[in-house]
A and B are shown apart, each in its own frame.
Chain A
Amino acid sequence: MISVQNISKSFGKVTAVDNVSLEAPDGKITALLGANGAGKTTSMRMIYALIKPEGGQVVVDGINTHEDPVAARARMGVLPDARGLYKRLTARENIVYFGRLQGMPEATIKDRCEELVERLGMGSFIDRKTDGFSQGQRVKVAIARALIHDPQNILLDEPTNGLDVMSTRAIRRFLKEQKALGKCILFSSHVMQEVSAVCDEITIIDGGQIVASGSEMQLRDKTGCENLEDAFVSLVGGEKLA
């Protein structure tokens, strides 16, 4: 369960995120939907305690991330925008490295690793060096690495960005399984179909501010639009480029 209250962040004179609040409950998939440069990645980075918000706070399972970032991070599994695998290590070594940094016992790391290999379908490449992996293989390894400690809260920044249909479906299926297990899942995306296909709750961010939130149905009703894409465009103030 993630609760974000009034966080802001500016870089120099540019305000990237302005007074953002949102709730991501357990057992649901919550989306942070926004165009490129809307403040998604900066918001996510503050939520997973990589950078400090200038105001407000983030509470993960009752832990204030600003006061105890180490404990809060142990409750979260994060797939950041930058996947950053180690090319000279095998997929398994990448995953085990993070398991050890999470402080897990060796036996548990081994079991959990096997479980993720099966769930994400990584059997054919788990013991190969990650240099030269396809996008899909890389994302799968990065997700396994982020979730090795079986965290209650799963945060993903653009998880299916650049993936083909098969990989996308595999990731969606995996997220739905996690949701069924009662996990809290928060993911950021700019892809409407993606959000439409998997998310229960949607928060729309634009220009660093939250402009609307609710289920897809609620957002469509509110704007009187047929689909999520039209609703989104209407909520962020029309087609600025046109």
Chain B
Amino acid sequence: MNFRAFKTVFFKEVLENARDKRTVMSSIVMGALFGPILMVIIMNTTINMQQDKAEQKLEVPVINQAGADHLLQFLRSQDVTILDFSDDPKKAINDKDHDVVLTISENFSERFEQGLPAKVKMYHDASAKGAAKVSVQRLRSLLNAYERSISVQRLQLRGVSPGLTNVIMIEEHDQATKESRGAMLLTVLPYFLIMGLFMGSMYLAIDTTAGEKERKSLEPLFLNPVKRDTVLAGKLAATVAFGLLTLVLTLVAFKLTLPWYPFEKLGMRFNMGMPVMLIMLLVLSPLALLAGAIQTIIAAFAQSYREAQTYVGLVLIVPMIPSMLLMFMPIKEQLWMMSIPILGQNLVINNLMRGDAVAWDAIGLAIAGTLIVGLALAWIAVKLYNREKMLFAD
């Protein structure tokens, strides 16, 4: 390969696109800052909302209060505000007027006095998120506590040891480490890193191929005594360089925004020291080649800049797939999974953040797997331009 021509094309594309403010804005500002800032905002607001709810006085609307003075007394003593309520409880939940509504059954006091199970109904929405969930949990645990205290009293009155009814004693040992609690919330971090990288190379992939075709400068360019492969390799290298630059900036942006994450409030730690960042960079770098090559291939088939933007924009969905999978279904990791591009990066980064040691063979496999696929795609992208059809927009 003619190395000087490769270098010439590379530096020309870098210079030309660095002068294009739109490219710089989209790759640096959007790609690198969008993810970290969005994460800070989302995490802070959700945590503040949950905490507010947990510290707030619990308000419970109660229907048919007459028969359950003792129970309500207990709830009030636990700092619960009891509200008079006579509307439809289903509607109140559906309209989100209340998080939870309690209904005391008609024969509550009768059955209570006879020592039979007395019924209360709890209306709530199990699919509700965040703050509403907290209210339901708090009421349920209060009701359980009341039930336990009464049953203990009843048994003692009859001379039975309350311990007799405790068949099993559960002692919970939560194995989540402080890091793993943080990582659960940060499963989206790899997605933002990978998306930043895709966004960073997107405009160059389009500008150097479909853009050049639209401006009709591809024909004069290919009239130079340089193989088309070499010209395309130079363009692809510039595209990959912008992807890498955005990746580095995204990592730095995450590092700089770390102080704004509510880690202490959650009682969790998050591992993002220099060595972890360097391994992330190492594992993600080959993805820049893969992203640039896919985007170049797709842009090559478009006739205009706008058309290419539409197609290449759709590719941004690809890095979402493994992140989504990992978020909703816990996969048991196998070593071979590391070799699948994007999935491998997700797994390695998740483990790193959880504070687990990641074996070098997993890291090596993630790098090698992505690099091989990336090189194959780059080869296709470069060879594509040997086809005459690719040269003209008309």
Contacts and interface: CB of A to CB of B under 8 A. Distances in A.
A59 B220 CA distance: 20
Given A100-B5, A101-B9, A85 B226 contact: no
B225 A84 contact: no
B391 interface: yes
A89 B220 contact: no
Given A101-B226, A103-B4, A89 B12 contact: yes
Contact of B220 (A71, A100, A145): A145
Q: Is the interface of B mostly helix, strand, loop or mixed?
A: helix
A207 interface: no
A73 B223 contact: yes
Interface residues of B, number: 28
B19 A82 contact: no
Nearest to A157: B219
Interface in B380-394: 388, 391
B218 A101 contact: no
Interface in B212-270: 212, 215-227, 231
B16 A86 contact: yes
B385 to A, nearest CB: 12
Given A52-B388, A71-B225, A102-B225, A84 B220 contact: yes
B15 interface: yes
Interface residues of A, number: 30
B16 A88 contact: yes
Given A50-B391, A84-B219, A101-B226, 15 more contacts: A76-B223, A81-B219, A82-B220, A85-B217, A88-B19, A93-B12, A93-B15, A98-B220, A100-B4, A101-B5, A101-B8, A101-B224, A101-B225, A103-B2, A142-B220
21 contacts: A50-B219, A50-B391, A70-B225, A71-B225, A73-B225, A80-B220, A81-B219, A82-B216, A82-B217, A84-B220, A85-B217, A86-B217, A87-B215, A89-B12, A100-B8, A101-B221, A101-B224, A102-B225, A103-B2, A103-B4, A146-B220
Instruction: Kindly list the 4 A-B residue pairs having the minimum CB-CB distance in the complex, ordered from nearest.
Output: A84-B217, A82-B216, A74-B225, A101-B224
